């Protein structure tokens, strides 16, 4: 689609708005200026008026993403962004800007609706793993209007290992939100945080949802230990840091009766409610103290950062136990939240690892804002939560890298072969470090497949697991000049083939979520 023969800026903006209404998806249109040979590719949904004059647009120029500003050269906005004037037309000039950190930061300052926040409009929010940081458009297409999105769910450890700055991922989301004209609000999630320094890093980058994870193993096996052994292990509890004593803590829960109230075990009409009561025994209390006291101390230290920075009320704070070795018991969830309240710490969400009805009942009586878990739990939320104000935060696993490789198998087989071969070469190292039970014999060399047959490698049941566990090693490899050549190649591939990548991601999101 082309736009030309406009006499002034108002006519151009009107034409772009008309183009947006005609499109089902926000595809770039060519804007042709009289006397200027090269067109501007503009996303029509991105049109935004500056509050003090001027119009800002997202698009492409010379096959590169760009931010355009339309206005007189004397207006203030022209000097607020780094860039260059590339043409003059009628009553306005066009300034082309790169998507630099400074420019994206200025956009977030000017337009609060494209900056992440901690606001939540509905009962359900969803976060998306996205180590590559380019999945935002597909996520918008898949979930816009269905849930509050938490774009850019970034694992701090992966960012550190891959040397990706937290701002790089957030800036990409800013570009996507601006480009798509989205103004429904979103949060940016930093996950698997285990230290105060990590919290501070992601806070300063502008993230607004913080998912803290426990450092080291959870040691759920302690539940099966005899009371004598549990008592002996109490010396390992950080009593000074908790400002507590064993006798006081133990007797706060000994003999306690926790009435969870009536809970409907099914959503089916006519299902009777059952009264749920927790009666923790001494061994269960001792196990909870031993398992959770160190975790509570860690949360105290990490929450201090938010308070010291004056941001606690501006962010969402979550503690996650989404570990493969088990889940919190309902009493452990009650103990955790209650003890944190004693330290004046109120978590917003907890991901206990299980979301059966008693967990929702514990969340309700302890004042949690909601519970988090895999998206499959969405259909199992008890009906009583609809009137309690509790919210559900679903997590969709990271499929960004796997989808990129899927596209490469079809569109750039040479790059796919390079990644597949290196992944096979590092598998033994990955197996030793992660305990991955996947022998090399199950992974055929790519040379056994023609270019047309390469996608068959990705249809095997273990392919996702194989690529997921080897990605970090693939991205870490450097060439003779010290450059991470494959990481760079993957990002360049995505930028070059963004429409196809977005379509493939959208299809996989719908497969994963069934929505």
Q: Which helix (H) or strand (E) holds 242?
A: helix 239-242
- pLDDT value of position 412: 96
Q: Which helix (H) or strand (E) holds 29?
A: strand 29-31
The range of the structural domain enclosing residue 327 comes to 112-218+301-396
User: What is the rounded distance in angstroms from the CA atom of residue 291 to the CA atom of residue 289?
Assistant: 6
Write out pLDDT tens, residues 407-420. 999 999 999 999 99
Indicate whether 448 and 352 sit together in one domain: no
Residue where a domain stops, chosen among 68, 98, 128: 98
Does residue 271 form part of some domain? Answer: no
- pLDDT value of position 264: 62
Q: What is the mean pLDDT of residues 83-88?
A: 94
Secondary structure of residue 178 in the 3-state scheme: helix
Write out pLDDT tens, residues 375-413. 877 777 776 666 678 899 998 888 999 999 999 999 999
User: What is the rounded distance in angstroms from the CA atom of residue 473 to the CA atom of residue 273?
Assistant: 52
User: What is the rounded distance in angstroms from the CA atom of residue 421 to the CA atom of residue 119?
Assistant: 45
- 78 contact partners, CB below 8 Å, separation of at least 6: 54, 69, 71, 72, 85, 93, 95
User: What is the rounded distance in angstroms from the CA atom of residue 149 to the CA atom of residue 145?
Assistant: 9
Does residue 322 form part of some domain? Answer: yes
Q: What is the mean pLDDT of residues 331-347?
A: 96
Domain count, the chain: 3
Indicate whether 381 and 475 sit together in one domain: no
- pLDDT value of position 269: 47
- 459 contact partners, CB below 8 Å, separation of at least 6: none
Strand segments (E) across 90-174 = 92-97, 124-129, 148-155
Residue 265 has pLDDT above 60, yes or no: no
Indicate whether 196 and 211 sit together in one domain: yes
Does residue 104 form part of some domain? Answer: no
Indicate whether 387 and 484 sit together in one domain: no
Residue 361 has pLDDT above 80, yes or no: yes
Indicate whether 377 and 498 sit together in one domain: no
Strand segments (E) across 45-110 = 48-49, 55-61, 64-71, 84-89, 92-97
- pLDDT value of position 266: 55
Q: What is the mean pLDDT of residues 468-485?
A: 88
Indicate whether 214 and 313 sit together in one domain: yes
Indicate whether 64 and 200 sit together in one domain: no
CATH number at residue 158: 3.20.20.70
Mean pLDDT of the chain: 89
Residue 96 has pLDDT above 90, yes or no: yes
Indicate whether 323 and 463 sit together in one domain: no
Indicate whether 93 and 29 sit together in one domain: yes
For residue 17, CA distances in Å to 11, 21, 175, 471 come to 10, 6, 19, 42
User: What is the rounded distance in angstroms from the CA atom of residue 46 to the CA atom of residue 57?
Assistant: 5
User: What is the rounded distance in angstroms from the CA atom of residue 372 to the CA atom of residue 267?
Assistant: 19
For CA atoms 91, 181, 60, 12, give the dihedral sign: negative
């Amino acid at each position: 689609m082309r736009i030309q023969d406009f006499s002034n800026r108002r006519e151009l903006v009107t034409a772009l708005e008309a183009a947006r209404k005609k499109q089902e998806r926000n595809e770039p249109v060519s804007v042709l200026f009289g006397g200027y040979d090269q067109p501007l590719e503009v996303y029509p949904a991105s049109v935004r008026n500056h509050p003090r004059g001027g119009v800002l647009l997202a698009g492409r120029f010379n096959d590169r993403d760009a931010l355009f500003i339309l206005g007189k050269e004397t207006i203030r906005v022209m000097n607020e962004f780094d860039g260059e004037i590339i043409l003059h037309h009628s009553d306005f000039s066009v300034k082309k800007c790169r998507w630099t950190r400074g420019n994206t930061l200025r956009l977030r300052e000017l337009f609060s609706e494209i900056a992440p926040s901690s606001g939540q409009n509905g009962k359900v929010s969803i976060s998306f793993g996205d180590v590559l940081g380019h999945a935002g458009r597909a996520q918008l297409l898949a979930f816009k209007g269905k849930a509050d999105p938490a774009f850019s769910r970034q694992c701090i450890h992966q960012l550190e290992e891959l040397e990706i700055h937290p701002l790089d991922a957030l800036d990409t989301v800013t570009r996507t939100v601006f480009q798509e004209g989205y103004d429904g609000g979103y949060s940016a999630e930093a996950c698997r945080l285990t230290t105060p320094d990590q919290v501070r890093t992601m806070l300063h980058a502008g993230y607004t949802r913080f998912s803290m994870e426990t450092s080291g193993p959870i040691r759920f096996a302690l539940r099966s230990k005899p009371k004598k052994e549990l008592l002996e292990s109490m010396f390992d509890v950080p009593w000074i840091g908790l400002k507590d004593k064993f006798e006081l803590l133990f007797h706060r829960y000994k003999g306690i009766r926790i009435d969870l109230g009536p809970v409907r075990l099914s959503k089916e009409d006519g299902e009777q409610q059952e009264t749920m009561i927790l009666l923790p025994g001494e061994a269960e209390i001792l196990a909870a103290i031993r398992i959770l006291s160190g975790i509570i101390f860690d949360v105290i230290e990490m929450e201090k950062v938010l308070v010291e920075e004056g941001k606690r009320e501006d962010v969402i704070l979550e503690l996650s136990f989404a570990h493969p070795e088990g889940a919190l018991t309902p009493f452990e969830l009650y103990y955790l939240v209650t003890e944190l309240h004693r330290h004046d710490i109120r978590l917003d969400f907890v991901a206990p690892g299980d979301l059966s009805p008693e967990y929702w009942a514990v969340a309700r009586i302890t004042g949690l804002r909601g519970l988090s878990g895999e998206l499959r739990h969405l259909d199992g939320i008890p009906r009583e939560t609809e009137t309690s104000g509790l919210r559900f935060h679903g997590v969709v696993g990271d499929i960004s890298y796997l989808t990129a490789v899927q596209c490469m198998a079809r569109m750039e087989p040479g790059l796919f072969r390079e990644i597949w071969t290196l992944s096979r070469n590092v598998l033994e190292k990955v197996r030793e470090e992660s305990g991955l039970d996947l022998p090399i014999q199950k992974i055929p060399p790519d040379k056994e497949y023609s270019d047309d047959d390469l996608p068959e490698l990705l249809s095997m049941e273990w392919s996702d697991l194989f690529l997921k566990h080897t990605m970090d090693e693939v991205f870490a490899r450097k060439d003779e000049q010290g450059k991470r050549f494959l990481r760079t190649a993957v990002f360049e591939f995505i930028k070059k083939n963004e429409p196809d990548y977005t379509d493939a991601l959208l299809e996989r999101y719908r497969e994963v979520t069934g929505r």
